[in-house]
Amino acid sequence: MADIHKEIYSEVESSSDGKKIKFKGKEWEDYEGQILEATQRKFLDEIENVYSETYRAIDDLMDDGLIDETFRDTLLQYVNNRNSKYWDATDFF
């Protein structure tokens, strides 16, 4: 996994020249908007990586006979429930 903290911090630090960066409703094509886009891209890419690796692990567990279909489906349901910070097993099966 990428070090998101380091990547985002470095992105802003390298462009700041020691000055505070402010966003005053400028166009997205300005550098401040580009920083926001880069941050969003890093964030979404990292989420995609987490999902991909999780799905791969679940598939491998199923293929190796370590989980049954019901447990696989429960895991997938849990993973796909993005907006839930807290999970209760009774929410699914």
- In angstroms, the first-to-last Cα distance of the chain is 31
Instruction: Pick the closest to residue 92 from 78, 64, 17 (CA basis).
Output: 78
| Digit-coded pLDDT (tens) for 39-83 | 888 888 888 888 899 999 999 999 999 999 999 998 888 888 765
Q: Token pair of 12, please?
A: 């802003």
d(CA 67, CA 73): 10
Q: How high is the pLDDT of residue 59?
A: 95
